[in-house]
Chain A
Amino acid sequence: MAEFCMPSLGADMEAGTVYDWRVQPGDPVKRGDVIASVETDKGVIDVEIFEDGVVEQILVEAGTSVPVGAVLALISGEEEAPAPLPSRTQDQAQGRLVAAMAEAVVAEEVRPLEPRPPGLPGRIEVAPTHNGRRLKVSPAARKRAAELGVDLSAIRGTGPGEAVTLEDVERAAATAAKPVHAKAEGQHIRVSPVARRVAEEMGIDLGAVEGTGPRGAISRADVQRVAAGRSAIGEKEVKAAPEAPASVQPPSRTQVDFQAGMRRAIAAAMSRSNRDIPHYYLETHIDMSHVLKWLEAENLKRPIKDRILPAVLLIKAVARALGDVPELNAYWLDDQLQIQEAIHIGFAIALRQGGLVTPAIHHADLKGLDELMAALRDLITRTRSGGLRSSELTDATITVTNLGDIGVEKVYGVIYPPQVALVGFGKVREQVWVENSMMGIRPVVTATLAGDHRATDGRRGGQFLDALNKYLQDVTL
C-alpha cells in the first residue's frame, strides 16, 4: 500500500487545499496520471501520481486544506510498490520528490508535443455529467464555473471536440446573470468553493452575502467580512448593499487573496535565497545578428501562427551551454552540489495581475526550436489560465528570465533555491560593435549569470557564458 501525499510544490509551500479529485476509489492509476488538483499560492495545480496501482481510499475531501506531506489517498500497488513519496518540507525530502517527479515525466516527454492554438486551455479533461453525457471541460472553465455557480452540463462547448472553454462559461454566466443586482429566490449565487465551505463552517447564509468578485461572485473574504460584521455589530446591520453595476468590476477579492498568497510565496523563496546563497554575478554582451537574421528569414517562410519567438533561441542556447557546463544545471542540497542529468529550464512567466511563476520546460536540450516554441506556448497559456502540473512547478534545474520586452538592459537575478544559477537576458539593442578591427552596428543582448558561489566559481560561470555566446552565433541552433 502506498500513500499519495500532499506534495511540496515549492520550497516555501507549507499547506495546500485539495481542489478536486479526478479519481474515485477503485480506479486504476498509472505513473504520471493526474489524480487530483491542489490549490496553492500559485494557483490550482494538477498533481500526478508516481506509481501504478488502484485507488484504495480517498482520505481528504475536496475543499480541505492540509499540510505538505499529509496523506491524501491510499494506493494499493499491483506489484511491489515503491517507497511512499517523501513528504517533509526540508530540502532533502524535496530533492527526492523532485527526482521522483523528474523521473516520472521522462516517459511523458518523449511523446510528440502537440502545439495548441492560442487562447485555448492547455488541457481538456473528460468528466461524466449527471445525465450520462460525456462532457469535455477545460480546467480553467471548470474552476470558473465553480466560482460562478454555472452548471457545466447546461453549456454547449465551442472548444475542440465541443469542449467547454473558459469563454463558454463566462458567456453562460453573463447570460444567466442579466439581473446582476437581484439575488432572487432560487437564482444561482456565485460563490467560490472555499467561500462556500467557510460560510458553512460559520453558519453564514450565502444569500445575505454581497459578492465583490467578478459578476458578484462571493469570495472567502466576503464571507469573512459578513461574519466579522455580524459578530461586531449584530445581524441586523448585515444587509446586501447596493451592488456596483456589472460593467464596473471592483478588483476581485479572491484575486487579492491570490496575489497576497503569491507574494508571500515569492517572499519566502527569495528571502531564503538571499539569506542562504552567496550570489556572484557575471555578464557578457552577445552579438545576436546572425541568429536573428536567420530567425527573421525562417519566420518569413512560416504562417504567423508558427512563428518562433527570439526567447526560444535563448532557451535553446542556454540548454546547449548547460551541456558544456553541467555544474550550473544542478541543485545545492545537503551541503553539496548535485548535478542534474535532465535539463529542465524554469522560464519566468509574469502574471498579468502581478507576481510570477517559473514552470519548467522539460528536457529543453532534447527539444528542437519548434518543440520548444510549442512547449513555451503551452506553458505560458496554462500558467495564465490554470492547469500547470505539479512536476512543472518543482523540477526546474535552472531558471531563465527574459526582461527584454520592457526595455531592461540587464538582469541581476536572484537564484531560486535549491537551484544554483539563474540566467537573465535584457533587451536586444542595436549597439556599436567592433570585430576584427571593424566597427559596425549589431543587435546585442546582455546576458547575465547569477551563480551560487557555494556550488560553482566565477570561472565555471564564465565558461557557461562563453558557451552561451558560442551557441548564439550558431544558426544551426
Chain B
Amino acid sequence: MSVNTISDEQIKATIFDVLGGIAPEADFDALDPNEDLRATLDIDSFDFLNFLIGLNEVLGVEIPEADYGQLVSLNDLVNYLSARV
C-alpha cells in the first residue's frame, strides 16, 4: 500500500466502525481521544483481540502482541496505524 493513501480521519472512522460492532452502545462523540480506550468502553481481552482482527481485515496492519502496551488511547491507535498503513 502506498504512503498517505489513508488519512487519520479515515483511520479514526475505521476504528469507530470496528469498535461499533464490539461496543454498540458506545458514544464515540463523547470519547476523549487521550483516555484509556479499553477501560472507557469496557473492552476485555477477547473484545480487544476481535477489535485488532477487525482493524487488520480493513487496514491490513498486523499488530504484534508486544505492541499492545503502546495502544492505550484513541490517539495512540491512530498514530500507530497511520505509521503503518
Task: Give the B-binding residues of A (Cβ under 8 A).
Answer: 118-119, 167, 296, 299-300, 303-305, 307, 309-311, 350, 352-353, 376-377, 380, 405-406
Among residues of B, the one whose C-beta sits closest to the C-beta of A377 is B46
Give the contacting residue for A300; candidates B21, B25, B64; CB below 8 A.
B64
Chain A residue numbers with a CB within 8 Å of B62 are 303-304
Q: Is B33 an interface residue (CB 8 A)?
A: no
Give the residue of A296, A305, A350, A406 whose beta carbon is less than 8 angstroms from that of B65.
Answer: A296
Q: Which chain B residues (6-47) contact chain A, with CB distance < 8 Å?
A: 21, 23-25, 39, 42, 44-46
The CA of A83 and the CA of B3, in the complex, are separated in Å by 69
Given the known interface contacts A119-B21, A296-B66, A299-B65, the answer about A304 and B44 at a Cβ–Cβ threshold of 8 Å is no
In the complex, which residues of chain B have a beta carbon less than 8 angstroms from the beta carbon of A305? 53, 56
Is there contact, CB below 8 Å, between B45 and A405?
A: yes
CA distance A303 to B44 in the complex (A): 20
Would you list which residues of chain B between 53 and 85 have a CB under 8 Å from chain A?
A: 53-54, 56, 62-66
Tell me the complex Cα distance, A413–B46, Å.
Answer: 21
Q: Are B46 and A307 in contact (CB under 8 A)?
A: no
Provide the residues of chain B in CB contact with A376, threshold 8 Å.
Answer: 46
Which A residues touch B63, using CB under 8 A? 304
A-B contact pairs, 14 of them (CB 8 A): A118-B53, A118-B54, A167-B21, A300-B64, A300-B65, A303-B62, A304-B62, A309-B46, A310-B45, A353-B25, A376-B46, A405-B45, A406-B39, A406-B44
In the complex, given contacts A296-B66, A304-B52, A304-B63, what are 14 additional A-B residue pairs having Cβ atoms less than 8 angstroms apart?
A119-B21, A299-B64, A299-B65, A300-B64, A300-B65, A304-B53, A305-B56, A307-B65, A352-B25, A376-B46, A380-B46, A405-B44, A405-B45, A406-B39
Distance between Cα atoms of A405 and B39 in the complex (Å): 9
Task: Give Cα distance in the complex from A352 to B25, angstroms.
Answer: 9
A-B pairs with the 3 shortest C-beta distances? A118-B50, A405-B44, A304-B56
Question: Complex Cα distance A305/B39, Å?
Answer: 23
Which B residues lie within 8 Å of A309 (CB)? 45-46, 49
Whether B54 contacts A119 by the Cβ 8 Å rule is yes
Query: Using Cβ atoms and an 8 Å threshold, which residues of chain B touch A380?
Result: 46
For the complex, give the distance between the alpha carbons of A302 and B4 in Å.
28
CA distance A376 to B46 in the complex (A): 9
Inter-chain contacts of A405 with B (CB < 8 A): 44-45
Bound-state Cα–Cα, A310 to B49, Å: 11
**Which residue of chain A lies nearest to B39 when distances are taken between CB atoms in the complex?**
A406
B8 shortest CB reach to chain A, Å: 22
CA A299 to CA B56, docked complex, whole Å: 15
Determine the distance from Cα of A352 to Cα of B26 in the docked complex, in whole angstroms: 11
Contacts of B53 in A (CB 8 A): 118, 304-305
Q: How far is the CA of A303 from the CA of B53 in the complex (A)?
A: 9
| A352 engages B23 (CB within 8 Å) | yes
**Residues of A contacting B65 with CB < 8 Å?**
296, 299-300, 307
B45 CB contact (under 8 Å) in A300, A303, A311: A311
Tell me whether A352 and B42 are in contact in the complex, defined as CB-CB below 8 angstroms, given that A296-B65, A307-B65 are known contacts.
yes
Most central of B25, B46, B56 by chain A CB within 10 Å: B46
Closest chain A residue to B24, Cβ basis: A352
- Cβ-closest chain B residue relative to A117: B53
B25 touches A119 (CB 8 A): no
Per the bound structure, the CA–CA distance linking A299 and B67 in Å amounts to 13
Quick one: which of B42, B44, B50, B64 contacts A119, CB cutoff 8 A?
B50
Q: Which residues of B contact A167 (CB under 8 A)?
A: 21
Nearest CB of chain B from residue A39's CB, rounded to whole Å:
21
Tell me which residues across on chain A come within 8 A of B64, comparing CB atoms.
299-300
Chain A hits for B21, CB < 8 A: 119, 167
Q: How far is the CB of A142 from chain B (nearest CB, A)?
A: 19
Interface centre among B23, B44, B63 (most CB of A within 10 A): B44
Contacts of B46 in A (CB 8 A): 309, 311, 376-377, 380
- Could you tell me the distance in whole angstroms from the C-beta of A322 to the nearest C-beta in chain B? 23
Give the complex CA separation of A445 and B15 in angstroms: 31
Which residue of the partner chain B has the closest CB to A300?
B64
Q: Which residue of B lies closest to A404 (CB)?
A: B45
Alpha-carbon distance between A377 and B23 when the two chains are bound, in angstroms: 17
In the complex, the chain A residue whose C-beta lies closest to that of B26 is: A352
Cα(A167)–Cα(B50), bound, Å: 17
